[in-house]
Amino acid sequence: MCAATKLPPMKVDDIRPSEAMADQAQAVQADIDWLGSRREAFVKVACPACQRDDPEYLYDKYAMSHQCCRHCGAQYVSPRPGEEMLGDFYRNSENYHYWAIHIFPKSAEARRRLLFRPRAEQTAALFADRALDNGTLIEIGAAHGLYCDEVRKLGLFSRIVAIEPTPDLAAECRRLGLETIEAPFEQADLEAEADVVANFEVIEHLFDPAAFLSWSRSLLKPGGFVFLTCPNVEGFETLLLGRDSDTVDHEHLNLFTPSSLELLAERSGFINIKVETPGELDVEIVQQALKDDRIDEGRLGPVLTRLLTSNDTGVAGGLQNLLADAGLSSHMRLVAQRPEQD
Ligand SMILES: [Zn+2]
């Protein structure tokens, strides 16, 4: 869903050509102003992960007030735009329009190679022991259909369904020959029950992530899996950059930690919940922030500064692997199962 998703494994510039990004700032500002002018109609909410209403105010950024849940540690925007306003926002977003016209066409092949093919291969690895070749995969928010297309090439499922509410994007999915349902989330009329329901960088944008996960669960066969990715607000990059992290923006209303995401999945009726942080970009993003003077060495301390400025590229790679293994990458993946019996 994110117009400029940052994901492994790649260099940031591979997927966001810098010349095409230059004018995008103006489009983003127009989006922020659109939301900012409607703040009075925003709705106060409890924590989207645990439902408790005990927030600590953190800061304002881009017209949004960020809270931290004292109970589960999730960071969330409250008050926030309601569902109808969010629908209007994404339909009219200048940034998404700019992205579709100017950036996506230039980066489509790199994104396919560096983002969607590896993600399809991850899917194969995650469900290798499940013999799903006769199964059904549903992707919610399929965008240009590149993930579904790459999964199809691997022959993992006999039926692949792309749900995509945006007309231009749904047309792209159909152009690739994918079975496409052009409907807003939760209005898709589906006959088949899925073995796997996937969604990538979607839940952080939603008014009510619990309702979305419960709906995702209802699309699954008993024993089926949900597979999703989202930012980890407790990751290296977001911990160090805080408010200055690009992850904290006007679109991300829900910023979960691994444990609060697990809590959300549990509350939505899933079992065998596994949360991992396989991100690969934290070190590169913080190195760039250091070069741009957006973070000072005092905050990093001598050891991290030394690791991040090492000329030995193996050091950065080793550090990133350590972060991923320790649950400290800023990119998170959840796999969880609908119980065999409800
Ligand atoms: Zn909470």
Is residue 78 within 8 A of residue 55, CB to CB? The reply is: yes
- Ligand 1 mean position, distance from CA 204 (Å): 14
Q: What is the pLDDT of residue 6?
A: 41
CA of residue 335 to ligand 1 center, whole Å: 20
Say how far apart CA 338 and CA 342 lie, in whole Å. Answer: 8
Write the pLDDT tens digit of every residue in 266-325. Answer: 999 999 999 999 988 999 999 999 999 999 888 899 999 999 999 998 999 999 999 999
pLDDT at 7: 39
- Predicted pLDDT at 13: 56
Q: Calculate how far, in angstroms, residue 256's C-alpha sits from the geometric centre of ligand 1.
A: 9
d(CA 265, CA 284): 30
* Distance, CA of 38 to chain centre: 25
Token match 């290798």: residue? 128
- Ligand 1 centroid to Cα of residue 56, in Å, is 11
ω into 9 cis (within 30 of 0): yes
pLDDT of residue 167: 85
Task: Give me ligand 1 centre to Cα 148, in Å.
Answer: 33
Whole-number Å distance, alpha carbon 155 to ligand 1 midpoint, is 40
- Low-confidence residues of the chain, pLDDT below 70? 1-22, 191-192
Q: How far is the CA of 63 from the centre of ligand 1 (A)?
A: 22
Distance CA 139, CA 218 (A): 14
Q: Ligand 1 mean position to 238 CA, how many Å?
A: 18
Separation of CA 51 and ligand 1 centre (Å) = 6
Pair 284, 277: CB distance under 8 Å:
no
340 Cβ contact partners less than 8 Å away, ≥ 6 residues apart: 222, 223
> What are the Cα distances from residue 321, in Å, to 4, 281, 292?
23, 10, 24
CA 47–ligand 1 middle distance (angstroms): 5
Instruction: Give the Å distance between the CA of 59 and the centre of ligand 1.
Output: 17
pLDDT for residue 131: 77
In the chain, the amino acid numbered 271 is I
Residue 188 tokens read as: 């898709």
Distance 85 CA to ligand 1 centre (A): 24
Task: For residues 295 and 74, give the distance between their C-alpha atoms in angstroms, rounded to a whole number.
Answer: 24
Question: How close is the Cα of 68 to the center of ligand 1, in Å?
Answer: 8
CA of 49 to the centre of ligand 1 (A): 5
Q: How far is the CA of 308 from the centre of ligand 1 (A)?
A: 33
Calpha distance 197→270 (Å, rounded): 13
The model carries a pTM of 0.91
Place of tokens 């500002």: 29
How many Å lie between the centroid of ligand 1 and the Cα of residue 136?
Answer: 33
Instruction: Give residue 52 CA to ligand 1 midpoint distance, Å.
Output: 6
* Distance of CA 76 from the midpoint of ligand 1 (Å): 9
If DSSP states are collapsed to H, E and C, what string results for 99-157? HHHHHHHHHHHHHHHHHHHHHHHHHHHHCHHHCCCCCEEEEECCCCCHHHHHHHHCCCC
Compute the distance from residue 10 Cα to the ligand 1 centre, in Å.
Answer: 33
| Strands laid side by side in the 194-200 sheet | 179-181, 159-163, 136-140, 194-200, 220-231, 331-337, 271-276
How far, in Å, is the centroid of ligand 1 from the Cα of 327? 19
Q: Quote the ligand 1 centre to 247 CA distance (angstroms).
A: 19
